[in-house]
Amino acid sequence: MPAISQRDTATGSSAGFPAGSPPGAPVHLRQVLTLWDLIFYGMVLIQPVAGIPLFGVAQQLSNGHTVTTILIAMLAMVITAVSYGRMAAVYPSAGSAYTYVGRAINPHLGFLIGWAMLLDYILQPLINVVWISVALHSRYISAIPFPVTALAVTVFITALNLVGIRSSARLNKLLLMAMCVVIAAFFILGVHYLYHRGQWPALFSITPFYDPKTFDIRRIWGATSFAALTYIGFDGITTLSEEVKNPRRNVLLATVLVCVFTGLLGGAQIYLGQRIWPNWHTFPNLETAFMDVCRRVGGPVLFEAMGVVLILAALGSALTGGLGAARLLFGMGRDGVLPRRIFAHLDPKTNTPTWNIVIIGAVAWLGAVTLNDIGSAYEHAGELLNFGAFLAFMGVNLSVFWHFTLLRRSPEPGADQRPGPLRDIILPLIGFIFCASIWWNLNILAKIVGGIWFLTGAVYLAATTSFFRKAPRMIDFRES
């Protein structure tokens, strides 16, 4: 794809097209990312230690069957990941679920899904900035006021994202390697601890998967909804679809591989944790249970190292989450459903939506300062993140069914347009039902606040489309 300068899509002025492009041509991002760049991005966004903060609470909810819940959730998230990948092959757009739902089902519904996603994408960097700032302020630099610490963290993340997608991809690799070193140390020390305590019987057991004394299918299902939080963020991969070489192949592969790798790695960590500390009732604190496991097998050194890894994981998630949010805003701005001159702006040198990145950074800092002052609101923000995420998951699964079954469209001209019962009907509907059940069981406060956000988007959409009589313009990437 050719390099682009800045040209507005509506006016044809010098802000966003390749040289010599006709007025009204769509603004594109450059295709520079490989499959491995996407995989590294997805792993950093989700975090390879995503299951660690959930460990203690998940053990309580599942009555000691956290590994089982993570693996069940992995199957459902892989189905949703396949749906994302299939729609990305049809519409390789930075708009992700916003574009898929809008093009396959209805543009008004697509906007509302994008609006709900926006809440999720804005909250992710915000929550991680809060977590990093609190950790740094409380453990290392308590003399510096919290707002200053939060500002420094936000400026650092924003500056890295402004440099460009290739620089961010390189940093993702470095962060992932650093995290994997400590995770590998935990595995080595954990296996050593168990083997010398009870040899092979201590290492290998079906108890973490199934204990007949405590197994309860209703508790397992409830805990599976909680364990699904391990995978939140994988959809951010699809916001980079326009910047990927061979997006029809690589986006699908990356989304599925990231979900599978996250599930297997997280499941292995939790399995080892359950074997090292089998009785969850004796945890000193459920919220920090895995850190106590690390102290048991590796002493204070592993305890502190894992604490640093959690900070690095939050940094990577904030970095990649900010990228995804900026590109979602870009997709909506380019289509004109948000003010185009602001949100569709691309820097001619770095090919990044710079104003969006700055806006996301400003919101993250203001939110971090506010949430730090009101304490428990930080926890509610984490619950609220799932409101938009699972609405988007539901929308994308439904889009696959709608696109390939009801409309009978195929990714390639001339391909067989008959729906496949498994891939086009059964799997996406299973994914939809699973995600709908999780969304339905969200905390009531998350539903209320998320509902207000959703209603605000509906009012904005009504005002800009003559009360839904006009459809928001959406670019068809198969024709551009």
Taking the C-alpha atoms of residue 33 and residue 254, their distance in angstroms, rounded to an integer, is 12
| Residue % of the chain over a pLDDT of 70 | 84
Helices (H) and strands (E) counted in the chain, each on its own, are 15, 0
Beta bridge partners of 460: none
Compute the average pLDDT of residues 276-290.
86
pLDDT computed for residue 14 by the predictor: 35
Q: In the predicted model, is pLDDT for residue 294 greater than 50? A: yes
Hey, what are 84's tokens? 């994302």
Residue 276 vs residue 37, higher pLDDT? 276
- pLDDT digit string (tens) for 247-269? 778 888 999 999 999 999 999 99
List beta partners, residue 244: 33
Rounded to an integer, what distance in angstroms lies between the CA atom of residue 172 and that of residue 39?
A: 10
- pLDDT of 179: 85
Torsion-angle region of 309 (φ positive above 0: left; ψ -120 to 50: alpha; else: beta): alpha
Report the distance separating Cα 352 and Cα 359, nearest Å.
13
Greatest mean pLDDT range, 90-94, 323-327, 469-473: 323-327
In sequence order, the 6+-apart residues with CB closer than 8 A to the CB of 277 are 283, 289, 292, 293, 296
pLDDT value of position 410 = 60
> Could you give the CA distance from residue 463 to residue 53 in angstroms, rounded to a whole number?
42
Q: Can you give the pLDDT at residue 226?
A: 77
pLDDT of 289 higher than 60: yes
What separation in angstroms does the CA of 370 have from each of 81, 122, 205, 402? 34, 15, 46, 41
Contact at 8 Å (CB) between 29 and 351? yes
- Give the residue extent of every domain in the chain: 35-464
* pLDDT attached to residue 380: 59
Minimum mean pLDDT among 227-241, 271-285, 287-301: which range? 227-241
Q: Are 382 and 127 in contact (CB under 8 A)?
A: yes
Compute the chain's Rg from CA coordinates: 22
Give me the pLDDT at residue 412, please.
52
pLDDT confidence band for 142 (50 / 70 / 90): confident
Find, among 245, 232, 327, 247, the residue nearest to 85 by Cα.
247
User: The tokens of 190 are what?
Assistant: 């954990």
Residue 353 pLDDT > 90: no
Classified by CATH at the fold level, domain 35-464 comes out as: Amino acid/polyamine transporter I (1.20.1740)
Q: Considering only 178-187, 384-393, 397-406, which range has the smallest mean pLDDT? A: 384-393
Interatomic CA distance for residues 250 and 246, integer angstroms: 6
Model confidence pLDDT, tens digit, residues 189-219: 999 999 988 788 888 989 889 888 888 888 8
**What SS3 class is residue 21?**
coil
Q: Is the predicted pLDDT of residue 334 greater than 50, yes or no?
A: yes
pLDDT in tens, 21-52: 344 445 556 666 788 888 887 887 787 888 88
Q: What is the pLDDT of residue 326?
A: 84
Alpha-carbon distance values, 270 to 59, 71, 102, 358, 383 (Å): 10, 11, 39, 37, 22
Other CB atoms closer than 10 Å to residue 415's CB: what's the count?
9
What is the residue type of 136? L
Residue range 345-356: average pLDDT? Answer: 82
Which pLDDT belongs to residue 94?
Answer: 63
pTM summary value: 0.76
Predicted pLDDT at 8: 35
Backbone angles phi, psi at 285, to 5 degrees: -150, 125
pLDDT tens column, 78-99: 999 999 988 888 887 766 788 8
Q: Name the residue type at position 66.
A: T
Query: Number of C-alpha atoms within 13 angstroms, CB side, residue 424?
Result: 16
Q: What is the mean pLDDT of residues 267-291?
A: 88
* DSSP code for 234: G
Rounded Cα–Cα distance for residues 22 and 271 (Å): 58
Query: Mean pLDDT over all residues of the chain?
Result: 80
Q: What is the mean pLDDT of residues 267-296?
A: 89
Q: Determine the Cα–Cα distance for residues 88 and 256; give it in Å rounded to an integer.
A: 13
- What is the DSSP annotation of 91-120? ---TTTHHHHHHHHT-HHHHHHHHHHHHHH
Among residues of the chain, what percentage have pLDDT more than 90?
18
